[in-house]
Structure formats: structure tokens, C-alpha cells
Chain A
Amino acid sequence: MQKYSIFNLVKNAFSNHQNWDLAWKDPTPKKEYDVVIIGGGGHGLATAYYLAKEHNITNVAIIEKGWIGGGNVGRNTTIIRSNYMHDDNALFSEFGMDLWRKMSQDLNYNVMFSPRGIINLAHSDAQMNVYARRGNSMRLNGIDAVLLNREQVREIIPMADFSENVRFPIFGGLMQPSAGTARHDAVAWGYARQADSMGVDIIQNCEVIGFDVSGGKINGVRTSRGNIKAKKIGLCVAGSTNILAEKLNMTLPIETHLLQACVSEPVKPVLDGVVTFGAGHFYISQSDKGEMVMGGDLDGYNSYAQRGNLPTLQHVLTEGIAMMPFLSKLKMLRTWGGIMDMSMDGSPIIDKTHIEGLYLNCGWCYGGFKATPASGWTFAHTIAQDRVHELNSGYSLNRFNTGHLLDEKGLGTKTWIS
């Protein structure tokens, strides 16, 4: 594989950049693999990469119905953070933060990780207390957290509404300075390129039709490009988890819902990091191109549509304008939707299943992108060692049966409420 470097950039300039190697090959599926990963999104590609890198398992295929990086890794709001209170979530996410910081060097691909901080705004004394508690929990787990008062928030985001007679006045906020954003497509492409260079087959336009299971053991997968035998299979298919689970006669604590996001026309730099509204569900950052990137609530009912509905968008942007009134002057450039695998406690599942050799990675709800490296790393460990790692031990499938829920937001099973 050709290294991406200033030297190679100059060298290739002499041939008008016509002779770069392909970033990944387009192989025909082999008859058999040690591990097949279903789903060529961020998590699937990261899993294959860490299988090869950390566990020396390179006889691996990723099979993807469409094209790699065409799902949620290509349509999110790119926020990376680890501001969780519960230990399982905090330690898992902070492990991921470490992988994010090293990712561009590790993958030899500029993922443009930009740690500019995230601020969760508070709009009451009670909310300040809750944030103080969360911040303390974060610091106990080694995560940076700063409680800001109203004036400190004003210094960082002067464009927020600090006028006197507003419905949700800003009391302060909780900041994680090390949080940030990254270039989402580069994450998918960087993992794909490295996985491919270590011998992983990336097979696109290959739809799963069914599974071969006998005697409680997985033997392979039937696809639109033929049958593929595999000792182990990992599912990383986010919003399509229930569709594949049905083929395996499994019913999971997951519902598929639609989440929308949108960007405005590009404007001059106005917002440094990520800001979230504390009296509703709205988050905003500014892209390097200058677009305001915004998102919020689910559409609120089960959906596989991958396209949004206006009432939710209007509701979300109303919150945005309440927080930063200048947004009302901006024209909307693009809106889009993706389908989320909403778990029943808001936390993901990375675990073995009752079928030997079948592994499950799903339930990422709103937070799949930031988890990409940690999810791939722990899922690769779970598959390679056939046991969960300490970091994903809280993300078990049977926690719904034993009552060990990880309900960070305290919302219960109504996944459409936010």
C-alpha cells in the first residue's frame, strides 16, 4: 500500500495524480472465511481493522449491501464525546477518545479530528446541580469536565440568547473540552484502506439473504453473490439489525427509528465547538466549510424510510432558534435522515448470542459515530477471543433479562421519547 505522505504527494504530482494505488480492492467473495462481518459502515470496517491489527486474524470479509460508508457513518453530525455519567458508558467512551486522538497517525489517513469542546447548556438551578454531579462522575473516571457559569458560557458562545426575558435563560453549562468533531467519511475510508491492506476482503453490493445455522452453531451466510462459509459472523448493521435478526429467528430489544439532521448555508466562523440545548433536544456545530450542522429528536415512530418528515424538523429548529436566535436568518442547505437502532435503555449491545459463532453489535441510538473506534476494538476482541472485554461487559444482551439496564438518560423503554 502506498503511504500517504508529503513525499508521495509531491512524487505523484509529476504524473498529475493519475497513478495513485486504489485505496481498496474490489474482490470476488471467497468460498470461506474465518470471520465475516456483515455491514460495511464505520463499526464494521473498524471491527475488521482491529481483528487484523490486534488479533492477527486477516482471513476476514466485510459484506455490505450497498457501498461502504453509505449508511449512518456517512450521514451523522460527526460529534465525538465521552461526557457520560455511568461507569460502563464513561470508560468505554473515554477509551474511544484515546483511539480518536491517535487515529489519523494510526490509519495514515487524515480524519480531521478536531477537539474543540462540547457544551451542554443548563437552564435552571436544578439542571446545574445535575450537571455538577455528572461532571464529578466524569472526572472520577478520568474524563475532563468543566462546570461553566453564565458569564463563562457567554464568553465562549456570545451568539446564544442571553437576553433577560427568555423562556429558557442560560444558567451555565457543562463542558468537555476534549470533545469535538471529525471528518466522518474519512473515518470509514481510513479504516477500509488499512483493513484492505492487511488482507481483509471488502465486498460491496452483496446483500445477505439468509444464514446457515445448524445445531446451534453458525456455519455461513447466504448472499446475493453466493454462499459464504464462516466460522464466526459479526453483525454490524445498525438500523437493519431487526431485519437480519428476523432471518435468525431472534427478537431483540431494538426498534428502528428515523433521525434527521440538516445543514445551513455556509457562513463565516461563528461557533467553535459543539453546543447542545438543555431544555429540549438540539445540538449544533459549525463545519470547516462554515455550514451550521444541526440535529435533534427522532421523528417519533418506527421507520425504515431514510428520509425525514417536516413537523420534526420544524420542532427541532424551533429549539435551535430559542437557543441561538441568529439561526432564523439562515437558509437551510440540506436535510437528510438515517435509520437508528434504538435500544430499550439507550445503550448499545456488543455481545455474543445464543448461536455459537454469531456476535452482535447494535443499539447505538443517537451515538454511533463517536463510538466507532471503541466499538470496533471491543467487538474485534469479543469475536477473536469468543468472550467480551471488560470495556463492553456492560453492553450485554441479557441485561434486559437480568435488570442491569444502562439507562443513562432515564427514559425507559419508550425509545421515541427524547
Chain B
Amino acid sequence: MKLFALTISILLYAPMWGQSKLDSLRMNTRTMDRPITVFKGELRINGGYRFDIFNNRYDGAGEKINLSAMDGKAAFQDALFMNMRYGITDFLDIEVNLLDFKKMTVRETPVDIIEDVVWEISRLTETVGNEDLLLKLNMRWPGLPRVVDVGLSPGISFPTARHGEQQPQHGYNLPQSSLGIDSPDAVYIDYHQVYKWGAGVTRSYLEGMVKWRGQNVALSGAYSAHFPLKTGKAVYWIHRLDKAHFSYRSVEYEYDWADFYALNLMAEYQAYSWLDILMGFNHRTWKNGWEGMSGEIRALPERKLANLNLGYEVIITPKMWLRQWLRFPVSGKNTMSSFVVDTKFVYSLSFK
């Protein structure tokens, strides 16, 4: 236990040893005063965990539909994420999303079909894996007064896996009471489909950001866009059941990943030097995607989702802080919506 405490202490305070006066000032920077890029020689590591509970779905007209009312559907998602930023100058840093591992689970509760035989059917759809690897340069305009920051972040994301469905793992079972009977009175079928996260194609990225600071209040806005640089190919699977054995066959199709646009607005109130209260709004749009086979392609529905966010940041030590968000969906179109709890730790190291 003592060794553990000692290790933590070294990790937290070691970077402070031998630092300059300027470093000391930077370490004591309040959250709202922090520049939108990291300092020269600073390595900032973000890592955390996010949990989504999907309660509703917005249809094409923007009407909210309760997921549990749709065949007893339930969905949730776990995500582990980590990214790193390194300051090349005080106005330019490089950022890479090393990890964004997500597992989304959608389950429809068993449906009984009562005819000659009771068919108990459950459907489990999982989307699992790492999101695309995003590499970007964050730049801020030099020479601006403290009250304002303007930034631009071009980037590119690389696929980490082939997009699309993996070979399914459906299951077929006879209940114990039906074993050995030619005409069972019940069978269980578990449809289990697995998809990979990620676009499967390289995409370009651009983000613009503006921040204004008052005495204890700051307002910021960012707009980002993500575009595919080429079309991709993926497969889906069809199945057949013969005497309790499933066989599968893949069908290839072409797709163009949807363009993605995000607007993020945030207001901060620096309640104490160590506590920042956050309130935000974000609006995301996916559009211009399509899928097709045999030369005929169809547009994918445009999707939209808007969230209100509430959060805080606590500076635990000058080199480590905790940020936590709660996100609530407020409107959408053609997409599921979730209540999100996002917890992130940030650790800063100086290499000068």
C-alpha cells in the first residue's frame, strides 16, 4: 500500500521537479484560462470511460420512440478512450486518438411465436472494436489577447478495421424437454450479429474553434467536419438453417461513408480556481452517405442528434485533472439517442 501511494505521488509530482517559473505558471492555470493548444514540450494524456444508455430512437420525422416499446429493444454502450497531445510550439500541437474502443450492444427480448411450435427468438447485435485512428494538428492564432483564442485543426483519420458485419454466430437450441422428439414443441433461436466500428476508409478532418474569456466565465464554439476520401466495400451475411445447423454466405456491397458535421458550444464558469462548471450543447449531422449493389446505389437517411451537456472539471493536482460530463439528448432524426456519462482523467507531462 505504501509502495502504491509512493508510486502515485511520484507520478503526480515528479514532473514538477526542476521546472522553470514559466512551467509553474502554466501548472497553476485555471481551466478556463488554459489555451486551446497545449504548451510547447507538454505531453497531455487523456484517458477515460464512457457509458451510454440508449432509451429512445428518433424517427425520420424527428418523433421520439421508446426503444423498449419496439420489440423490447434495449441498447447500451461501453467505451474506453485515450488520446495524446504534444506541444510542438505554444501555438501548435499534434494530437492522436490512440484508443477509442467501443462495444455497443442492442438486444431484443425474446419474441414468442405460438403456432404449432413455440419459437423463442432473441436478437443480439453488437458493434465492437476501435474507432478510426484520428491524427490532427491543433493550431491557435498567435499574438491574440487573453480574452480570445482562435484555432484551426486539420487532420486525417485512418481505418483500423474493415467496416461492416462479421460472420454471424447464430444459435439454435432445443429445450431439454424436446431432445429426441421428432416434432419439438419449442425451439430457441439466438440471432447474433457482430459489426466493427470505424468507417473502413480514410477520412479528412477539419475543425475551427473560437474561445472568449471573461473574468470567471468563458464561452467557446467549435465546428468540425469529417469527409471520406474514397468509397469502401463491405459485406453483409445471409443465413440458412438446416437441421439445427446454420450456414452463412456473404454478400459484398459498396458504400460511401456519410459526411459528418459537429457543432459544439460550451459555457464555463470558474467557480473556484480548482473547479470549473461546464454547460454545453452539441449538434451532430451525418449526411450524403450511400450504399449500393450492382451499380445501383441508394442514399442513406440523413441523421441528426442534438445533446445538452452538463459537467465539471476538478484540478486534482496541477498536472492532473478530472472532467466529467452528463449528456442528455434533446432532438434527433433517424438515430438512437442515449444518456451518456463520460469520465476523463487528464495527465500532463513536460519535456523541455
Is this pair of chains taken from one and the same complex? no
* Residues on B facing A (Cβ under 8 Å): none
